[in-house]
């Protein structure tokens, strides 16, 4: 199944993440802004209708380039954003999860993207947060009631945090890191599958480690006649029908490898080998 329902919309399970639109480590401007915008357009031209972004990529850079590339947005495009973190002076990510900060971040995303309402906003849990998780999620629920967003999602969560969030508000999706060689938190994935809750796998290529020439997937990929990136994404899509992937690139030439994953059927022996990687 190539599609699933997310935030009330039917979209393909291969999305696009905007983190790489900004400069190195998602800070500052990219070396080639026009190429970055071309990558976004190539994704949409290839049928991608789920774009995951955030105001803290850049900061603001990814959202601005996304808007410059696509506005007016296709009517069937689902843009999901994340709040709950901010950038530190050294380029790291730190918690910014107080209700007033979360609400301000949503409004900043609205302005940067040039929209009046967001289809889906994820509250990202940061381990250094001192704010009760229920308060962070509750802030998004309040903005949903005000009409600034349609659906509340959560990101970077444990099973306990998922349960806590669901006690506060209906949760539309979970966005966690998951890829070959990084399968911690499988209990969260299994719980979302059992509940029919969309699961968005971020960093599906392991920050590029699974896509390069030295990828641990290179041998199996050659045997199948595909790229390592295609194989890595296909493995994720094969996990369960509620799983989507949100790879990113600032190079339009890489898009073909990413979207090709939806057509790859994994042989059982390759599936088993990657499960143990």
Rg of the Cα atoms in the chain? 18
Best CA proximity match to 205, nearest among 175, 246, 259, 170: 246
Burial of residue 104 (number of CB atoms within 10 Å: 0-12, 13-18, 19+)? middle
Task: Report the distance separating Cα 130 and Cα 126, nearest Å.
Answer: 9
CA pair distance 5, 276, nearest whole angstrom = 30
| DSSP-derived 3-state class of residue 186 | helix
- For 266, counting Cβ atoms within 10 Å of its Cβ (0-12 exposed, 13-18 middle, 19+ buried), the class is middle
**Residue 72: is the preceding peptide bond cis (ω within 30°)?**
yes
Strand 243-245 relative to strand 85-87, pairing: unpaired
**Please, are residues 64 and 102 in contact by the beta-carbon 8 Å criterion?**
no
Catalytic one of 57, 73, 178, 199: 57
- Rounded alpha-carbon distances, angstroms, from residue 80 to 32, 51, 151: 24, 6, 9
Q: CA dihedral in degrees (86, 206, 122, 136; nearest 10)?
A: -50
CB count, 10 Å around CB of 79? 23
Distance CA 128, CA 140 (A): 20
Catalytic (active site) residue 57: yes
- Residue positions annotated with a catalytic role: 57
């Amino acid at each position: 199944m190539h599609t699933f329902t997310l935030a009330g919309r039917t979209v393909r399970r291969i999305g696009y993440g905007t983190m790489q639109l900004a400069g190195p480590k998602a800070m500052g401007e990219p070396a080639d802004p026009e190429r970055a915008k071309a990558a976004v357009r190539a994704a949409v031209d290839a049928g991608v209708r789920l774009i995951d972004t955030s105001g803290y990529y850049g900061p603001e850079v990814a959202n601005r380039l996304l808007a410059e590339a696509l506005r007016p947005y296709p009517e069937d495009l689902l843009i999901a954003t994340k709040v709950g973190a901010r950038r530190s002076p050294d380029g790291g990510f730190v918690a910014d999860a107080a209700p007033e900060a979360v609400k301000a971040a949503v409004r900043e995303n609205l302005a940067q993207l040039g929209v009046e309402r967001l289809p889906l906003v994820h509250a990202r849990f940061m381990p250094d947060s001192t704010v009760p998780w229920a308060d962070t999620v509750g802030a998004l629920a309040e903005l949903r009631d005000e009409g600034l967003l349609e659906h509340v999602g959560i990101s970077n969560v444990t099973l306990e945090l998922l349960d806590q969030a669901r006690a506060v508000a209906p949760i539309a999706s979970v966005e966690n890191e998951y890829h070959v060689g990084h399968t911690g938190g499988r209990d969260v994935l299994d719980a979302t599958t059992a509940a029919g809750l969309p699961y968005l796998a971020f960093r599906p290529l392991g920050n590029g480690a699974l896509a390069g020439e030295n990828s641990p997937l290179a041998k199996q990929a050659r045997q199948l006649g595909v790229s390592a990136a295609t194989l890595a994404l296909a493995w994720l899509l094969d996990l369960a029908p509620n799983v989507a992937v949100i790879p990113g690139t600032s190079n339009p030439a890489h898009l073909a490898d990413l979207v090709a994953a939806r057509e790859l059927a994994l042989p059982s022996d390759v599936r088993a080998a990657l499960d143990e990687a």
